[in-house]
């Protein structure tokens, strides 16, 4: 929806704050190309500055921010959408409204209910409230961290922003790499938790708020929501569960279709985006569908998409389909994509995601996507593997043999499987081993521990599957999966909405018996989703029960053809860039390149030499962009 910036200062002048807000906003123009505004407020010891860049989607005429209450002079800026604003507004008609949009409703909920207002919001948001009466600033972020919010302190001032580049510009601090997180990145492919790869730049955690006291100059961060997965209802009936799932899913899509501009969907070959697109046609029969294809058959989902649309023609007969081709030439876009994401994340799908967002952004301002279903309902193979491991010793010998055939990696996993759910999750995520990291970085002692602040609420009573889901939704979902969706959609001035991350759906999923999510014996993931979509004719049965194929790219194929690589990639793999930076060992990179092969590598391959090389490429290009 937009980009926000803020400054709390005790030594800068009002004019200087205004200038810095303008500069911070200019670096976020892609997040809000339609309008901009800066406002500076005075308090006893200094000034507060709020900056806003707007992507106009809802309440086109009166929805500009910051919004200031005429009753008590409290003010708000917020990036994102509060989808249930109409329902909330109906509960407090006496508060008085000068706009027709959602963010003033959020401000009035705070004015009426205090910090409890955060439990009332259903949406994706990261914002700030200036509480004039109580002399404090409240920063807040949605439950799953769909919208980003960064902050830092420098020279007796406090700064926050939707993006890191804006923050670096506003606070004028020297840009330095966070060397404590280099091994973290290479082990997990991203940096989970509150740290970033920029020294001194922090992320406000998902489901949290930061309360800054203007008198004491101190702040504290508290969680207002934890995803608790120890609440299974064991005697739940599948038919009743499917009915409730569909009710919540339909409403999640319905309220995310609220917009004063055109809405489309991102459609892949998976059941999640297919179901979202199908349900969206109920509200908008002529909705635009945006998809990406590949030349390599085993990665190309376009035939599945076309087959799905044909089989469900009654729902899709008026839709408009737009497709693009993602080939190895997209690798030349990596530097600009990395600059937009700002944090290094070694995720191949940033390439097709950027391409489909570019295509959609040229035609609409809003899209619905299928992100979140795999994390909430257990859609990844690692969840099946974890569940299989948890029941293995209770099976008969014939049943164990069946499970071993389905999961050839099960025995080796069980040999190292920790009793600690946090350690188990880490074991499944490692890109490089400890010894490999020492060789790559040249360090004898590693700082590669999983950050404590990226671990979720765990009571100890969770089923192993739900413990893994808790880890996934607290770390990888916000800091890897959704980070790339937000930054790349907003790079093209496009708002991406995620119905499966409606907190009501997530809290319902927490009560489901494990076998409603995954069944390792039948190799079925997200069972409740497929079963319900078929039962209620949102999807045809073949699509609903289609085996999941990871949405990824043919990286091994592309990197195995050096002559077709763009110069920026050649410079990393075969030039002097890695050596000049002096952070990782170029000889170790050369060894991985010598082992590179596209044989026996496909969409289901978890870790390959191409993945390791790609991580080095991402990191090296990122370092070159921000520090060289």
Q: Which residues are catalytic?
A: 2
Give yes or no for a contact between 376 and 509, defined as CB atoms under 8 angstroms apart: yes
How many secondary structure helices (H) and strands (E) does the chain include?
Answer: 28, 17
Residues near 108 by beta carbon (within 8 Å), at least 6 away in sequence: 69, 89, 92, 95, 96, 97
Q: Can you tell me the distance from the alpha carbon of 432 to that of 91, in angstroms, rounded to the nearest whole number?
A: 53
Give backbone dihedrals phi and psi of 393, rounded to 5 degrees, phi first.
-70, -15
- Which run of H or of E encompasses 52? strand 46-54
Give yes or no for a contact between 289 and 279, defined as CB atoms under 8 angstroms apart: no
Tokens linked to 90: 């109906």
Give yes or no for a contact between 23 and 156, defined as CB atoms under 8 angstroms apart: no
Q: Can you tell me the distance from the alpha carbon of 102 to that of 201, in angstroms, rounded to the nearest whole number?
A: 29
- Which run of H or of E encompasses 280? helix 271-283
> At 151, is the secondary structure helix, strand, or coil?
strand
Tokens linked to 128: 């700030």
* Exposed/middle/buried for residue 576 (C-beta within 10 Å: 0-12, 13-18, 19+): exposed
Residue with tokens 């001194």: 200
Distance set, CA 365 to CA 5, 27, 79, 264, 265 (Å): 22, 20, 15, 8, 11
Q: What residues does 212 pair with on adjacent strands? A: 137, 219
* Exposed/middle/buried for residue 94 (C-beta within 10 Å: 0-12, 13-18, 19+): exposed
Tokens linked to 53: 């860049």
Q: Can you tell me the distance from the alpha carbon of 447 to that of 437, in angstroms, rounded to the nearest whole number?
A: 10
């Amino acid at each position: 929806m937009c980009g926000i910036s803020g400054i709390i200062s005790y030594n800068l002048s009002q004019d200087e704050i205004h200038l810095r807000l303008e500069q911070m906003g200019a670096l976020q123009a892609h997040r809000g190309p339609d309008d901009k505004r800066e406002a500076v407020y005075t308090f006893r010891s200094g000034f507060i500055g709020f900056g806003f860049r707007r992507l106009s989607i809802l309440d086109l005429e009166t929805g500009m921010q910051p919004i200031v209450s005429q009753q008590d002079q409290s003010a708000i800026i917020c990036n994102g959408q509060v989808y249930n604003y109409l329902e909330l507004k109906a509960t407090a008609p006496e508060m008085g409204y000068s706009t027709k949009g959602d963010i003033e409703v959020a401000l009035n909920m705070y004015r009426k209910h205090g910090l409890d207002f955060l439990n009332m919001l259903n949406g994706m948001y990261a914002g700030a409230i200036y509480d004039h009466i109580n002399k404090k600033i409240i920063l807040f972020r949605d439950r799953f961290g769909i919208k980003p919010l960064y902050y830092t302190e420098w020279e007796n001032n406090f700064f926050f922003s939707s993006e890191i580049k804006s923050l670096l510009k506003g606070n004028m601090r020297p840009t330095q790499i966070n060397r404590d997180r280099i091994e973290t990145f290479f082990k997990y492919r991203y940096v989970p938790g509150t740290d970033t790869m920029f020294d001194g730049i922090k992320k406000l955690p998902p489901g949290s708020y930061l309360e800054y006291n203007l008198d004491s100059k101190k702040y504290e961060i508290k969680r207002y929501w934890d995803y608790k997965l120890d609440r299974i209802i064991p005697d739940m009936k599948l038919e009743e569960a499917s009915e409730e799932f569909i009710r919540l899913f339909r409403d999640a899509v319905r309220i995310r279709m609220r917009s004063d501009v055109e809405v489309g969907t991102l459609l892949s070959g998976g059941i999640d985006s297919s179901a979202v697109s199908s349900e969206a046609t109920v509200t908008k029969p002529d909705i635009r569908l945006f998809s990406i294809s590949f030349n390599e058959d085993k990665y190309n989902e376009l035939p599945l998409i076309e087959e799905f649309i044909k089989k469900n023609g009654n729902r899709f007969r008026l839709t408009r389909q737009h497709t693009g081709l993602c080939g190895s030439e997209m690798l030349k876009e990596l530097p600009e994509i990395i600059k937009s994401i700002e944090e290094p994340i070694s995720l191949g799908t940033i390439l097709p995601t950027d391409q489909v967002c570019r295509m959609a952004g040229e035609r609409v301002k809003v899209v619905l996507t299928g992100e979140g279903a795999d994390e909430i309902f257990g859609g990844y193979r690692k969840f099946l593997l974890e569940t299989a491991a948890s029941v293995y010793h209770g099976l008969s010998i014939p049943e164990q043999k069946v499970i071993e055939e389905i999961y050839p990696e099960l025995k080796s996993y069980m040999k190292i499987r920790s009793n600690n759910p946090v350690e188990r999750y880490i074991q499944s995520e490692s890109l490089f081993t400890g010894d490999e990291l020492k060789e790559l970085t040249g360090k004898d002692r590693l700082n590669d521990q999983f950050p404590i602040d990226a671990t979720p609420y765990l009571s100890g009573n969770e089923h192993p599957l739900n413990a893994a889901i808790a880890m996934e939704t607290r770390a990888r979902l916000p800091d890897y999966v959704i980070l790339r969706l937000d930054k790349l959609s907003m790079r093209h001035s496009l708002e991406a909405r995620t119905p499966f991350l409606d907190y009501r759906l997530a809290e319902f999923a927490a009560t489901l018996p494990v076998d409603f999510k995954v069944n390792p014996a039948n190799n079925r993931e997200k069972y409740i989703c497929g079963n319900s979509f078929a039962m209620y004719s949102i999807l045809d049965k073949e699509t609903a029960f289609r085996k999941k194929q990871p949405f990824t790219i043919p990286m091994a194929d592309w990197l195995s053809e050096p002559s077709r690589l763009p110069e920026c990639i050649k410079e990393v793999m075969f030039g002097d860039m890695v050596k000049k930076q002096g952070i990782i060992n170029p000889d170790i990179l050369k060894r991985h390149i010598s082992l590179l092969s596209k044989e026996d590598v496909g969409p289901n391959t978890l870790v390959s030499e191409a993945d390791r090389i790609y991580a080095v490429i991402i990191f090296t290009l990122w370092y070159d962009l921000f520090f060289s």
